[in-house]
Structure 1
Amino acid sequence: MTIARLEIFARRRQRIAAAPFAEFSIFQVRAGRKRIGNGQRQDEIPAGGFAAVAPGQLLHVENLPPDDGAYRAVCLCLPQAMLTTADLAPADAPPWAALPVQRALEQAFAHVEQGVSEQLPENLLRHRVAELVAAVALAGYRAPMPRDRGLGERIRLLLNTQPAREWRAEAVAAQLALSTATLRRRLAEEATSFRGILEEVRLTHGLALVQGSHKPLKQVAVECGYASPSRFTARFRERFGSLPSELRD
């Protein structure tokens, strides 16, 4: 399991509709401002500030550059397997929180960043993650964590390992020791589908590559399983409300 570190730059205001947060995510805004909301409430995080988002959220995000430069932020996505039951909060806990700037939080965040950069062994990273989660709790936030992963989430984790692969429902069902009919029926009970999960995985991966890498958009499309860049662009805009090029400098 890995901790994803996403570094975001933007010289123009970015708007992303229903951005997915699959894992417990912690942001530090380093220049500009970030707005996070869900239609009912909205928080603005200034430069130097932090925000924490519980796993499984779809939130509207705006990244606002300062007048004299580019927006910059770093996001750390913490796999649930690295968290302990002590980190769990009641299910009615807020889906996200803007956090006050505290020295302990700054140090713990930097500690995990350093560990990811140095590719430390997983057992050492776990200690640093525990330090960061504790610092977030001291800042006033404990995220509601899903205790049981449904079939859709298990499939999502599997597809995430190779977003560009030509996945088929029959092969995934066999890997999970299910019949294809059972897989489709159980996904329907969760109000989703195999095709829907696959596209969500690919587009979420695309969003991370568009924001956090300098890869050409044609290459991004291929790495997300789209042979046609125009098809990727159209689906991306339909899903996130912005063209990939609009999220690039």
Structure 2
Amino acid sequence: MDEFTKSISNFFEQSLQSFDPNGKTGIGEHGLISCGNRVQIRHVPFDSPCIILVLSGQKIMIEKGQDIICNTGNALTVPSPGSYDLRNEPDRRSGRYRALVIPFEVTDIEHLLRLHQLQPHHRQVAPQILHFNIQADLANAIRHYLTPSSDDHLIRHRLLELLLILLRQDERLMTYSLCQPSWSQKVRSIFATDLAKKWEIVEVCQRLAISESTLRRNLKREQTGFRDLLVEQRLSAALMLLLQTSQSITQIAYDCGYLSVSRFSSNFSKRFGLPPTELRISLNESEQKMTVCEQS
């Protein structure tokens, strides 16, 4: 890693002061993924597009059978909705993997296209994971974005600046604007507003202004169901909380709608192939290797 890249990584380390000893931070406008071992996770859901900047180590994402490798100091953008296999490799010298995750919305890309009168040139190309080298203008934009502010409008303006620079580097980012939310994604977005709530399909249909029969038919067309989506959203959120925060497993279970920690642990194990306690321990151990496997 050259001196310029080192200076970028050092800035990120100094800017994110909310880490605990294991290097985790809460989920807000951005989050930090940190682990001290090789972590492999299958079928990780991405409900919103995001920017992933690797601060230490290496991230490998698999798309259509091909490995997309992102080394320290580089970035990826990931479209949504989607589900990807990924692997996080710790840096050999520091012994840790760290990556900054910055979520954004499809509407952010749409706004930039309207504002700058741009048109996607790749309408026949499906949105895909994109790789970016961190150059001076992009590094400065990320520094700007990470500068603390209580002004939500200012934060969004900085995010749009960041996305515009990425778009200038690779026009294929425009295709993210072509991703329209599926019915599954719309339902999961509602669940995400309160994972602990006892959701009923009637209330969700009211929020979506759609009949129950129509929603069930649309979800069946997408090969899923109302209860399946609720379980998946809760477990996916729990996975992210385990990866990004130091909240206790008991608190995560309750926050994600489980009254029984044992039932949460059982469902988590069936979904990802190991109990949450083992995942949490593995994330904090420097030499252990682990694989999180989806159980079909």
Class of the TM-score when normalised by the shorter of the 2 chains: 0.7 to 0.9
Residues 1:139 and 2:173 aligned together: no
CA RMSD in angstroms comes to 2.3
Counterpart of 1:175 (choices 207, 213, 236) is 207
Equivalent pair of 1:16/1:241 in contact (CA under 8 Å): no
Taking the aligned partners of 2:179 and 2:132, their CA distance within structure 1 comes to 24
Task: Single out whichever of 171-180 and 99-108 deviates more from structure 2.
Answer: 171-180
CA distance in structure 1 between the partners assigned to 2:64 and 2:106 by the alignment? 26
Aligned to 2:243: 211
Cα distance 1:31–1:129, how it changes in 2: closer, same or farther (>3 A)? same
The alignment status of 1:84 with 2:110, answered yes or no, reads yes
Query: Which letter does structure 2 place at the counterpart of 1:185?
Result: R
User: Structure 1's 119 and 234: CA in aligned 2 closer, same or farther, altered over 3 A?
Assistant: farther
- Does residue 129 of the first structure (1) align with residue 154 of the second (2)? no
The answer as to 2:150 corresponding to 1:119 is yes
CA distance, structure 1, for counterparts of residue 254 and residue 243 of structure 2: 16
Per-residue CA deviation, residues 3-29 of structure 1 (Å, 9 max, x unaligned), is: 641211101111111111111210111
Question: Distance between the aligned counterparts of 2:272 and 2:130, measured in 1?
Answer: 22
Distance in 2 between the 1:151 and 1:236 partners?
A: 24
Shift of 1:154: 2.0
**Alpha carbons 1:6, 1:208 under 8 Å: kept:** no
- Does 2:246 correspond to 1:221? no
| 168 and 91 in structure 1: CA distance in 2 versus 1, 3 angstrom threshold | farther
Q: Bigger shift: 40-49 or 100-109?
A: 100-109
TM-score, reference length from structure 1: 0.88
* 1:46 pairs with 2:71: yes
Which aligned pairs between 1:1-249 and structure 2 lie closer than 5 A? 4-67=29-92, 68-84=94-110, 86=113, 90=123, 92-114=125-147, 117-121=148-152, 123-140=153-170, 141-142=172-173, 143-244=175-276, 245-247=278-280, 248-249=283-284
Structure 2 letter corresponding to 1:126:
R
Distance (whole Å) between structure 2 residues aligned to residue 207 and residue 119 of structure 1: 28
Shift of 1:57: 1.6
Instruction: Find the aligned partners of 2:105 and 2:127 in 1 and give their Cα distance.
Output: 19
8 Å Cα contact 1:14/1:246 also seen in 2: no
How far 1:148 sits from its partner (Å)?
Answer: 3.3
Structure 2: stretches of 5+ with no match in the other structure? 1-26, 285-296
Q: Tell me by how many angstroms 1:104 deviates.
A: 1.6
Look at both structures and tell me which one has the larger radius of gyration over its CA atoms. 2
Task: Tell me by how many angstroms 1:31 deviates.
Answer: 0.9
TM-score (norm 2): 0.75
CA deviation after TM superposition for structure 1 residue 62, in Å: 0.8
Shift of 1:221: 1.0
Number of residue-to-residue matches in the alignment: 245
Q: Does the CA-based 8 Å contact 2:57-2:97 persist in structure 1?
A: yes
